[in-house]
Structure 1
Amino acid sequence: MPARRSLLILSFSNIRSDPRVLKQVQLFRDRYDVTTCGFGDAPDGVVEHIEVAPDARTWVDDKVAIALRRYERAYWGTAAVADARPKLEGRRFDGILANDLTAVPLALALEPRFGVHGDLHEFAPKEKDDDLRWRLAVAPYMRWLCRNYLPKLVSVTTVARGIADRYEADYGVTVGVVTNAAPYAEREPRPVHTPIRLIHSAAGQRYRKLENFIELMKDAPADVTLDMIVMPNEPDYVAELKAMGEGVPGLTFRDPVPYDRLVETLAEYDVSMTFLPPTNFNLAHALPNKFFEAVQARLALIIGPSPEMVTILEEYGLGAVVPDFSVESLRALIARITPEQVAAWKAASHVAARPLSAESQQRQWADAIAAMLHVGAEDPLA
């Protein structure tokens, strides 16, 4: 029996808590000999895990190199890259799945036998384009990475069609789409609560404007409550939010839960609010994890007019779209919803759960990696 192909999954993240990368591991660990490289402990089922030092920063510290546009020096001097490189050098892999742009040059330098697939989690050249200093200093570096390294990849995927289209237009590469869909969960929609229970889970980052939800609840209808699960990405901002929310009727901050318990936790609610003001390009094209997690929890959805989400929500009848990103419009919509509407939207999520599951989305990854590794398609997901 021929030996299985070897695949390195490289990600400068904590793989055990990174939903997108963890799904890659779970998809490929039974098909290939998977080695992972990233922060934290080894994910289950891999043949080896190469841990990046926990204090190694993933961002460029060499401001002089960035200012002088000495981008090679800037990249290879990045602490996480500099830590991972000697740990990986001399190892031979049949293929590498590189997550995010910052992993791509290192993956290519390792010269795997059949090449590198890049999975880009956002449009990197506009990651923080709401910040003038970032646009002036960092964006040129990200564009340089794209110009120099994306054409060398065997294949590329990203999270949403709008982002894929921009990569194709700017850099001439063909980009497939694998959404951040959650794994299929076998469950039934729960009855609508009285009062209706709203939930918003999010990274605690200032540009997401989570204070909008606190303003919403200061004058919200009495027949709704809102729980917020906010990750401590920016601890000072999260502390500000909690201080702002003290004494606001119907508002509760709930502690974050592990990813493998998130969908079950969400299922305690009725409506997920995925309301992301387009403060930068990637948020304007957002199609986030929380959208798909809500479907697997069999919740109704209330979203802003984010085009990627609107397309899917309207196709499956999953909920309602706020006409703009103002708190006033969100409050007006919340005031109009009825338990009967919410029940119908939850039922629609139940119907959509399988076609919108990770299992249905991952064909793009499976096919791309199989093609790169020159593996046959006997297995229906190989």
Structure 2
Amino acid sequence: MNNKKNTLLVVNGDYSYCIRAKRLAHTYHNEGCKLSVLSHNMSMQESNIAHNYHFKNQGTTLSKARRFIKLLLRMHTSYLNEQKAHQLADKNFDTIICFDLICLPFITAHLTYTKLVVDLREYYPKQFEHNFIWSVSFAPLYKFICKKYLAKAEEHWTVSPGLQKAYEKFYKIKCELKPSIPQVKALPLKPIGKTVKLVHHGVANPNRNIEDMIEVVKLLPDNYLLDLYLVNNNHRYYRKIKALVDSCDRVKLNPPIPQQSIIDVLSTYDIGLFICKPNTFNLAHAWPNKVFEYHAAGLRTVTTPLPGMIELKSWQNNIYYSKDYSSESIACAINSLR
């Protein structure tokens, strides 16, 4: 008799590129669950995935434009009703994990389950608050979903205390804290070498202040080197960073690190960087994957005094933050570790 719990992970995007989703899948697989994934990736093949379901294509450019007009007109129910999936009408699941909030109305309307979990890794009503178009289109949609659908789930997870407090304050939802911690035993904190190797990895996004990292290196002694491993999801900003890297011989730009190699690659460095400014609510309260990966790889982490990072310091003894957000202060924090 097969007693494996039938679990479905629902991802609005390409599961292959979602590190947190893949870590959740790994955890549930190791706990003996029969795990399936519903996403927009139709060719995925992984040994721990029992079934790969996919959302139906959203249609032509014209139909997408019509859907966007619905967003602007706040026709949220009509917009959400257009989300469809293949081969799931007669399936029953013990647990469904909603990895992306926008999938929650579809799950409650069309899928059969015993338990529903929502992974709130962002404070979604402010996810891209710096973008005006997003603020007048998707922000009202996410507020609508939070108000109408969050209470339909049995469990809610989030990734930092700041996000916990926001969901409880504005939507009366109590979230369990589940940060994105690598499923490996952390290496011991390593001594810093004569040549100090700094590293940062992640997306090439202007709100990551990568140009500030290059400026910081210029303020440090000549034995400090910086390697950047960036995902080029913003071509204009990536070109800007590449030009800055070309002007500084102590900074190197590299391709993204494959997920399975992150800890091994990071372990060859001394200090990991996360030096954002609190330009958005989610950045101010972030507990990002990379900071836990730096810890797992035995690195010290230098960060700016973001509220989330100050809270995280009580969890991890490898975090050091600058007095303020200036390049000079960050360089001072890095140099003090010698």
Q: TM-score, normalised by structure 2?
A: 0.90
Aligned to 2:32: 31
Q: Whole-Å Cα distance in 2 between the matches of residues 14 and 50 of structure 1?
A: 12
1:71 and 2:76 are equivalent in the alignment? yes
Aligned to 1:241: 241
Q: Which runs of no fewer than 5 residues in structure 2 stay unpaired? A: none
1:114 and 2:114 are equivalent in the alignment? yes
Check 1:48–1:116 CA distance in 2 against 1; reply closer, same or farther (3 A cut): same
| Aligned counterparts, 1:1-382, within 5 A | 1=1, 3-29=3-29, 30-40=31-41, 41-52=44-55, 61=65, 62-77=67-82, 81-82=83-84, 85-185=85-185, 187-338=187-338
Q: Could you tell me how far 1:107 is from its partner in structure 2?
A: 1.5
Check 1:131–1:335 CA distance in 2 against 1; reply closer, same or farther (3 A cut): same
Q: TM-score, normalised by structure 1?
A: 0.80
Q: Could you tell me how far 1:187 is from its partner in structure 2?
A: 4.2
Instruction: Confirm or deny: 8 A CA contact 1:302 1:321 kept in the other structure.
Output: yes
Instruction: Confirm or deny: 8 A CA contact 2:207 2:276 kept in the other structure.
Output: no
Q: Could you tell me how far 1:185 is from its partner in structure 2?
A: 3.4
Deviations 1:205-250 (A, max 9, x none): 1222221112222333212111111111212211221012212131
Q: Which runs of 4+ in 1 moved over 3 A?
A: 51-57, 185-191
Instruction: Confirm or deny: 8 A CA contact 2:200 2:272 kept in the other structure.
Output: yes
Instruction: Confirm or deny: 8 A CA contact 1:156 1:174 kept in the other structure.
Output: yes
Aligned to 1:364: none
Instruction: Confirm or deny: 8 A CA contact 1:208 1:279 kept in the other structure.
Output: no
Instruction: Confirm or deny: 8 A CA contact 2:76 2:141 kept in the other structure.
Output: yes
Computed over aligned residues only, the root mean square deviation of the Cα atoms, in angstroms, reads 2.2
Q: Which amino acid aligns with 1:31?
A: G
Check 1:321–1:114 CA distance in 2 against 1; reply closer, same or farther (3 A cut): same
Q: Whole-Å Cα distance in 2 between the matches of residues 203 and 260 of structure 1?
A: 17
Q: Could you tell me how far 1:73 is from its partner in structure 2?
A: 1.9
Deviations 1:270-311 (A, max 9, x none): 001121211111001000000000011000111111222223
Q: Which amino acid aligns with 2:214?
A: I
Instruction: Confirm or deny: 8 A CA contact 1:6 1:93 kept in the other structure.
Output: yes
Q: Could you tell me how far 1:154 is from its partner in structure 2?
A: 1.2
Check 1:254–1:24 CA distance in 2 against 1; reply closer, same or farther (3 A cut): same
Check 1:160–1:215 CA distance in 2 against 1; reply closer, same or farther (3 A cut): same
Residue 213 of structure 1 aligns to a residue whose secondary structure is helix
Deviations 1:315-355 (A, max 9, x none): 543142112222221123233331xxxxxxxxxxxxxxxxx
Aligned length: 331
Q: Which runs of no fewer than 5 residues in structure 1 stay unpaired? A: 339-382
